[in-house]
Amino acid sequence: MANGQSGVFVGSAGLVWRRQRVLWWVFVVNLILASFAARTITSRVAPVLNHSLASIPLLVQGFHVSAMDELGGPPAEYLTVGPTHVYYSVIFFFFMLLATGGILEAYWRDSSPTTGEFFQSGGNYFWRFFRLVIFLLLVLIPVGIVAVAARGIGNVIDEKSISPFPWVWFELGSVLLVVFLLMSVRLWFDMAEIIAVAESETRSRKCLRRGAKVVWHNFGSLFWLYFRISFVGWLVFASGMHFWVHHIGHASITKSLLVSQLIVLFWLGARFWQRASETLWYKNYLSRPESESVAPAPSPYEPSLVASAR
């Protein structure tokens, strides 16, 4: 089992590397949308900064907090640009909803789809995955309740102790619990999406039930796989931020942009790696004889990718 998991861990990284085109696609779309979002602020600050000698020593050669405050503060409030960036992030969210089907197809088939095939797959799965997002939001409600309850208990602990540490440790523990719950829920829904693609299952609730069974019976191995990749992602993100802050000079605008984009790319890559690993894991899982008790045989009425994969 351990060897198998190790194979999935490394093999799925290879899968992301082989099918990196989809990763680049998504990254570029996010970058373009974010660039559009930044146009508003650029147009507001450019007249203030581009011809001012103060902009270079305050913002470029040394990043002064007060300079940002002056830009953002009254009366002009140049940094107040409304929720444009939120709108573009929501657009990216819907793009990802559309793209996820194509991404999973690419990983399931281990082939590079054409643009048309990619979006055709995305279109095929869009409403199924949209429904899954609705279910996910419903499932996140109890997680939110846990988080709110933990905050309430934390406040009580906070009020009762003269030392800050009981609260600190409790908060740390509750954050870890909530993160664990979020990861578990995501793992479950990831698996439901993979089942939808692998078995061309159109019924979202059935995907969720099967996903739940698979995750329930294999939680340790699946969570360990998911966690390890998450950990690598966090590590790369933290290291990237550290490198950016400590080793890229304030005046190195291009290097700064490059590093920031690499951070975004690796973060996205880690998420794709999780998708690929879960897909690969599910393929391996279906090839195991004991999996039959959980995964039903493909329906003869539905042309199945599973069948072709076998």
Of 177-216, which residues contact other proteins (CB under 8 A)?
A: 186
Stretch that binds other proteins, among 9-17, 46-54, 144-152, 299-307 (CB under 8 A): 46-54
Residue 192, token pair as written in the block: 């439901």
264 binds other proteins (CB under 8 A): yes
74: helix, strand or coil = coil
64 binds other proteins (CB under 8 A): yes
* Contact between residue 27 and residue 92 where contact means Cβ atoms under 8 Å apart: no
* Contact between residue 146 and residue 177 where contact means Cβ atoms under 8 Å apart: yes
309 binds other proteins (CB under 8 A): no
* Residue 219: count of CB within 10 angstroms of its CB: 13
34 binds other proteins (CB under 8 A): yes
Q: Is 79 exposed, middle or buried (0-12, 13-18, 19+ CB in 10 A)?
A: middle
- Contacts of other proteins in 111-130 (CB under 8 A): 129
89 binds other proteins (CB under 8 A): yes
* Contact between residue 110 and residue 18 where contact means Cβ atoms under 8 Å apart: yes
Binding mask 136-155 for other proteins (x = CB under 8 A): xx------------------
Stretch that binds other proteins, among 42-50, 143-151, 279-287, 301-309 (CB under 8 A): 42-50
When the beta carbons of 97 and 153 are compared against other proteins, the nearer one is 97
State how far the Cα of 161 lies from the Cα of 179, in Å rounded to an integer. 26
The enclosing H or E element of 84 equals helix 84-109
When the beta carbons of 30 and 218 are compared against other proteins, the nearer one is 30
When the beta carbons of 96 and 150 are compared against other proteins, the nearer one is 96
